[in-house]
Structure 1
Amino acid sequence: MSISLKEKLAELIFEYDKLRFHICPKIEDMYLLSFGFLECEAYNLDIELEMIKRYIELFNQGEDLSKIDEMLDNEFEESVGMLEKYMGELDLAIERKDTHFELSEDDLDSLNSLYLDLIYKLHPSFNPVQSIYEKDLFEEIVEAFETYDLTSMRSLAILIPEGKTIFEDDDVFIKSISQINQEIYNIKNSYPYNKKKILDDEKLFKDYKIQLLDVVANDYLLIEEYGKKLDELI
């Protein structure tokens, strides 16, 4: 027996939220903890190398030495900002590693099952006309799902108004199914989900780590080379 449009939509909403709140954050943390240090080092060295090259270029153009450092700061401000942002994300991943909480398999099944049931009762796709109370309640339910808080979700489920009816409109469901399928496609083809293949494939994992190590080693050699050229100029 084929599932109804209503069931298909609910399952897609659940898949979408599971990707956003559970699967992708874990992939991102695993990726950052596996490669973040090397990527930060490679990016930092790349910035340093490009700054030295640019310093030499500006010097040869006759720029005032007293102004070159300020010019470089301005030119590389965005790159340095991106590096600092990435380093901050790595720090957060390290913090989460020490505080990560996992539900037991049975409790995780209960969390997923209860959330799927509550999608029918309060998700806007099934309840387009909601009171402020219902909107706030569902936001708290989503937060409980995101944080694996089964106890809170069970408590919140009790607060759902009695006699809540589910919206029925196949045309609306078809449109929503198409939209959510697109959102799921977008997630699976962007960061961090697109790093899953590297994490899951031992050969790709090792090859990428070797590639990063080669980049770092090569950048150190180039920085030394260009650093000597700069010393000769000034």
Structure 2
Amino acid sequence: MSIIISPEFKKLKNRLSDLILIHHELLLQICPNIEREYLLKFGSLEYELYKKDVKLSMLKRKLQLIQIQISTEEEIDIELIDEILEEEFFKYKENIKKHMDELNGAMEEQHICLLSKKDTKRLKLIYKQCVLKLHPDLNPNLSNREKDLFIQITEAFKNGNLNALESLYYFVPNKKVEFESEIERLQELIECEEKEIAEIKEKYPYNKKELLLDDNEIYEYEVMLNNLITQFDDDIQRCMDEIDLI
């Protein structure tokens, strides 16, 4: 069954589907690709910098705990101090591990084959049609089977798997029923999508996009990170020397 719908409704629905596509592309493809490239260029240096930052903080805290024991005329108990440090810095060590896992993941994915411009265009075109017919915001009365189908389609889009997306597209129903009364709802959804897209573009990793396009900025950032690492090394050595003198 189909009914006549207003041009405004069609226009709004197409606008919303375009925004959903942009939103999903940012979340599922563009931002992950930016983050992967950023980690491959700077991940090792930032990992080393963070690790040294934690080490220096631990040494400073260790020195502080030793000085407290000395000031209270207690016998210096390094084993107890190390236990305290382990507990206090547990979450920081977990962050170090997480950072390394992210870096390893980026290195594993760097050899993934990218689609050609032609295939990328087709991927977006098919996905947009799927969004129009299966996205919950545009189709509030989806069956469970249709919801599961859209999850599979979104995963195929995320992975840039054109073959899988083309196969799944054959199972998308050809719905034609629309409701003009939903114009106000569509306008609200459009505003929401526009806001979320703007927020994504202001945050990491999208805010690193321009940096990755400028070779001079890349070089300058690498130099800055290396200088900070050297500075941390000097501070760490000074702190260790101070502890050894106690």
Do the structures match in fold with TM over 0.5? Answer: yes
* 2:158 aligned partner: 146
Q: Does 1:172 align with 2:179?
A: no
Distance (Å, rounded) in 2 between the aligned partners of 1:227 and 1:64: 17
Distance (Å, rounded) in 2 between the aligned partners of 1:41 and 1:163: 54
* 1:61 aligned partner: 68
Q: Does 1:24 align with 2:38?
A: no
* 2:5 aligned partner: none
| Amino acid paired to 1:150 | L
Distance (Å, rounded) in 2 between the aligned partners of 1:25 and 1:201: 19
Distance (Å, rounded) in 2 between the aligned partners of 1:182 and 1:92: 30
Distance (Å, rounded) in 2 between the aligned partners of 1:141 and 1:165: 22
Q: Out of 120, 125, 133, which is 2:137 matched to?
A: 125
| Amino acid paired to 1:6 | K
* 1:159 aligned partner: 171
- Asked if the contact 1:126–1:167 (Cα under 8 Å) also holds between the matched residues in 2, the reply is no
Deviation at 1:162? 4.1
* 2:123 aligned partner: 111
* 1:207 aligned partner: 220
* 1:93 aligned partner: 106
1:36-78, Cα deviation, whole Å (9 max, x unpaired): 0000111111111111111111001006322000001111111
Distance (Å, rounded) in 2 between the aligned partners of 1:46 and 1:52: 10
Aligned residues with identical type, % of pairs: 36
**CA 1:162–1:180 in 2, change beyond 3 Å: closer, same or farther?**
closer
Q: Does 1:45 align with 2:57?
A: no
1:132-160, Cα deviation, whole Å (9 max, x unpaired): 01111111111111111112212211112
Q: What 5-or-longer segments of structure 1 have no aligned partner? A: none
| Amino acid paired to 2:157 | F
Deviation at 1:201? 2.4
| Amino acid paired to 1:136 | D
* 1:181 aligned partner: 194
* 1:35 aligned partner: 42
Q: Does 1:229 align with 2:242?
A: yes
Larger Cα-atom Rg: 2
| Amino acid paired to 1:26 | N
Q: What 5-or-longer segments of structure 2 have no aligned partner? A: 1-7, 70-75
- Give the aligned CA root-mean-square deviation in angstroms: 1.8
Deviation at 1:204? 2.2
Distance (Å, rounded) in 1 between the aligned partners of 2:121 and 2:210: 26
Deviation at 1:161? 2.8
